[in-house]
């Protein structure tokens, strides 16, 4: 049967009664989306506007999770599919949108009155502007769009800093202001490429100093200066004066998300039977970064509910939808990529952890005192951004907590930074944990990759108890 024909998944009607009793999503601007509104959108409106999300094929790794009794899963997808509407509404109300890097905190951006979106979120926003696409149509659109960035920069670029959406498309991002050098060598060149783009856009690089940065007072000082400049520039754009207290308040809010994600992870990992599938797990853990939905308050609301459901499932020994009994538990390190969780689960595995976003999520920021200094100190101490041995020590700690049976290191073709450290990191992990490991190169943006999935599945077969 062809997977490219339109054959959509629908949430079963009998779920409605259960779902509409769950909690509302609260938004930063004080508005709410009730469970009933969410249900209506996900069953009536979204399948028409974004049919690709409702694809039945497990080859499409962005498909909806089938864990329909996990309301946070549906709400997370609701937030994803309403990204475009909400972001554009916020912009109309005067909130600027800033492109940031993955794996970084977004506290200062929100404190300055903006919305911060990492590359995948910007891509989601861009995707939301194209309605009616099937899975195949969406993949072709995405690949063709990325080609435009390749032409302007290089085919070897991995991270193109939204060039395809902003310069070659018409996405009205107000500013590009990632923290640079953070795990990704390409992002600063991607931002730089905008200088020769067709459209003027505000550019800023938050200069992340390298080499034992967390131990050098002058490095912390320097990055704190970067943060001052950042909040001032954004504040000026938003017509907003950023006070220290406002930044501290934002830090407290984001710390709440971080703590909750850590608590949720502890619960998830403690269970013998994974309480959710890999796709839901990844989304829930990542909500602690308070970035992925373009609204920290919304992320926190959904995360709170997710935390309760997971704790309950762990207590009752409930397994996530699609996960087999005694799956091979895989921890994924590397670039901002992951295998297709659905196909991995079909092969008997489950992804139990990722290191890249987890590094910033698991780093709490001090809440008293100079917020710029505190943020700088915390950001410069992200485990993922330390020397390889220090990063490995932290990764091993997380691998042990996750009770993984094996470790995959995935890096993008074109990702010089993660590819450079892959072997060393994996060698240390292997030495310290005796776990099987595998390094795989991934073609970023490819719609499907049999070569990649083949390797993942073989690894699952090898490690599965």
Partner 1 sequence: MALTTVHKIRDRVEKRPLELAAAREKGAKVVGWLSYAIPEEVITALGLIPIRIGTGGDTRLVEIGSRYISTKNCVFVREAVGLFAENKDPYIVNSDLVAFDAACLQLFRTAEVVEHYFKVNTLVLGVPRNFYWPEAKEYFWHELEHFVGKLEELAGVKLDPKRLAASIELYNGIRESIKELYRYQAGNNPLITWSQTYDVIHAGYYLDRAEYAALLRELLAELKDKQGEPVISHTYGEARIFLSGSVIPPKDHKLIDIIEQVGGRIVGDDLWSGLVPHLNVEIKEPTVKGIAYAYLSRVPHAALPYLDLKTDERLKNLKGLIGAFHAQGVINHTLRYCDPFTFKAGETKEQLKQIGIPMLEIHTEYAGSDFEAIRTRVEAFVEMLRNLDYQEAV
Partner 2 sequence: MSKEKIYAGVDVGSLGTKALLLRGDTIISHGLIRTGIDTEENGRNVLKVALDNAGLQWEDLDYIVATGYGRISAPYANRTVTEITCHGKGAHFLHPKTRTIIDMGGQDCKAIRLDEDGNVNDFAMNDKCAAGTGRFLEVMAATFKVGLEELGPMALRAKEILPVSSTCTVFAESETVSLLARGENPDSIIKGIHHAIANRVAGMFSRVGVESDVFFSGGVAKNVGMKAALEEVLNARIVDPEYDPQLVGALGAAVLAKTYATREANNGANNRS
Identity of the residue, 137 or 172, whose beta carbon is nearer to partner 2 in the bound complex: 137
Structure tokens at 65: 């999770």
DSSP state of 440: E
3-state secondary structure of 270: helix
Site stretch for partner 2 (CB under 8 A), options 27-35, 232-240, 334-342, 443-451: 443-451
Name which of residues 34 to 63 contact partner 2 (CB under 8 A).
Answer: 59
| Near partner 2 in 142-201, by CB under 8 A | 143-144, 147, 150-152, 155
| Minimum distance, C-beta of residue 422 to partner 1, in the bound complex (Å) | 6
Count of Cβ atoms closer than 10 Å to residue 262 Cβ? 17
What tokens does 453 get?
């999935």
Q: How many residues does the chain have?
A: 465
Answer whether 279's CB lies under 8 Å from 65's CB: yes
Candidate list 79, 98, 152, 166; residue touching partner 1; CB under 8 A: 152
> How many Cβ atoms are within 10 Å of 55's Cβ, its own excluded?
22
Residue 24 found at the interface with partner 1 (CB under 8 A): no
Phi, psi of 448 (to 5 degrees): -145, 155
CA distance 55 to 387: 42
Using CB under 8 A as the binding rule, the residues of this chain from 362 to 401 that contact partner 1 are 387-389
Selection from partner 2, partner 1, none that 198 binds (CB < 5 to 8 A by kind) is none
Residue 315's closest CA among 268, 245, 363?
268
* Spatial separation of the C-alpha atoms in residues 291 and 285, rounded to whole Å: 12
Question: Who's near 131: CB < 8 A, 6+ residues apart?
Answer: 48, 49, 50
Q: Which does 417 bind (CB under 5 to 8 A by kind): partner 2, partner 1, none?
A: partner 1
Count of C-beta atoms within a 10 Å radius of residue 453:
19
Residue 30 or 200 having the CB closest to partner 1:
200
CB of 12 to partner 1, least distance (A): 45
Kindly indicate which of the ranges 6-14, 50-58, 197-205, 314-322 contains the residues binding partner 1, using the contact rule CB under 8 A: 197-205
- Binding at 448: pick from partner 2, partner 1, none (beta carbon under 5-8 Å per type): partner 2
Is the CB of 125 or the CB of 411 nearer to partner 1? Answer: 411
Binding mask 336-375 for partner 2 (x = CB under 8 A): ----------------------------------------
Residues 6+ apart with CB under 8 A from 325: 273, 319
Q: Kindly tell me which residue out of 19, 285, 331, 411 binds partner 1, with binding defined by CB under 8 A.
A: 411
Contacting residue, 82, 402, 419, 437, with partner 1 by CB under 8 A: 419
Enumerate residues 406-425 that contact partner 2 by CB under 8 A: 413
Q: What is the DSSP letter of 169?
A: S
Binding site partner of 450, from partner 2, partner 1, none, Cβ cut-off 5-8 A by kind:
partner 2
CB 240 within 8 A of CB 113: yes
Closest CA to 55 of 121, 130, 5: 5
Name the segment binding partner 1 (CB under 8 A); options: 23-31, 344-352, 408-416, 442-450: 408-416
Output the DSSP codes for 378-394.
HHHT-GGGS-HHHHHHH
CB of 447 to partner 2, least distance (A): 5
Interface with partner 2: number of residues (CB under 8 A): 24
The backbone torsions φ and ψ at residue 57, rounded to the nearest 5 degrees and listed phi first, read: -75, 130
CA distance 295 to 97: 11
Binding site for partner 2 (CB under 8 A): 1-4, 59, 136-137, 139-140, 143-144, 147, 150-152, 155, 413, 443, 446-451
Binding site for partner 1 (CB under 8 A): 151-154, 156-157, 180-181, 185-186, 188-189, 191-193, 195-196, 203-205, 207, 209-211, 213, 216, 218-219, 221-222, 225-226, 387-389, 411, 413-417, 419-424, 441
């Amino acid at each position: 049967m062809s997977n490219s024909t339109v054959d959509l998944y629908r949430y079963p009607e009998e779920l409605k009664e259960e779902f509409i009793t769950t909690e509302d999503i609260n938004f930063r601007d004080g508005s709410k989306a009730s469970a009933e509104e969410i249900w209506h959108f996900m069953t009536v409106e979204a399948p028409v506007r974004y049919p690709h999300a409702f694809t039945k094929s497990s080859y499409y790794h962005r498909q909806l999770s089938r864990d329909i009794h996990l309301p946070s899963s549906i709400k997370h997808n609701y937030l994803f599919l309403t990204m475009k509407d909400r972001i554009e509404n916020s912009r109309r109300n005067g909130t600027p949108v800033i492109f940031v890097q993955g794996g970084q905190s977004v506290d200062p951006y929100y404190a300055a009155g903006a919305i911060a979106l990492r590359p995948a979120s910007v891509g989601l926003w861009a995707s939301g502007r194209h309605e009616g696409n099937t899975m195949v149509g969406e993949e072709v659109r995405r690949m063709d769009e990325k080609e435009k960035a390749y032409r302007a920069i290089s085919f070897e670029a991995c991270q193109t800093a939204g060039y395809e959406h902003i310069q070659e498309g018409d996405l009205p991002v107000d500013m590009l202001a990632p923290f640079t050098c953070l795990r990704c060598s390409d992002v600063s060149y991607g931002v730089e490429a905008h200088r020769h783009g067709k459209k003027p856009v505000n550019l800023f690089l938050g200069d992340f100093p390298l080499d034992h940065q967390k131990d050098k007072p002058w490095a912390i000082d320097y990055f704190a200066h970067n943060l001052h400049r950042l909040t001032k520039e954004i504040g000026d754009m938003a017509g907003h004066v950023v006070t220290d207290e406002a930044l501290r308040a934002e830090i407290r809010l984001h710390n709440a998300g971080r703590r909750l994600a850590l608590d949720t992870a502890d619960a998830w990992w403690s269970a013998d039977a994974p309480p959710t599938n890999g796709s839901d797990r990844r989304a829930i853990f990542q909500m602690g970064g308070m970035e992925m939905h373009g609204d920290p308050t919304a992320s926190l609301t959904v995360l709170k509910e997710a935390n309760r459901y997971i704790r309950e499932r762990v207590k009752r020994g409930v397994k996530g939808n699609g996960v087999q009994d005694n799956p091979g538990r895989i921890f994924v390190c590397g670039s901002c990529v992951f295998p297709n969780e659905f196909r991995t689960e079909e092969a008997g595995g489950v992804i139990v952890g990722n290191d890249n976003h987890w590094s910033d999520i698991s780093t709490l920021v001090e809440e008293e005192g100079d917020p710029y200094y505190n943020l700088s100190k915390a950001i410069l101490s992200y485990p993922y951004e330390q020397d390889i041995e220090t990063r490995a020590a932290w990764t091993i700690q997380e691998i042990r907590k996750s009770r993984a049976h094996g470790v995959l290191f995935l890096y993008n073709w074109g990702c010089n930074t993660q590819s450079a450290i892959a072997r060393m990191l994996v060698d240390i992990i292997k030495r310290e944990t005796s776990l099987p490991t595998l390094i795989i190169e991934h073609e970023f943006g490819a719609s499907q990759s049999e070569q990649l999935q083949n390797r993942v599945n073989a690894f699952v077969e090898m490690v599965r108890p």
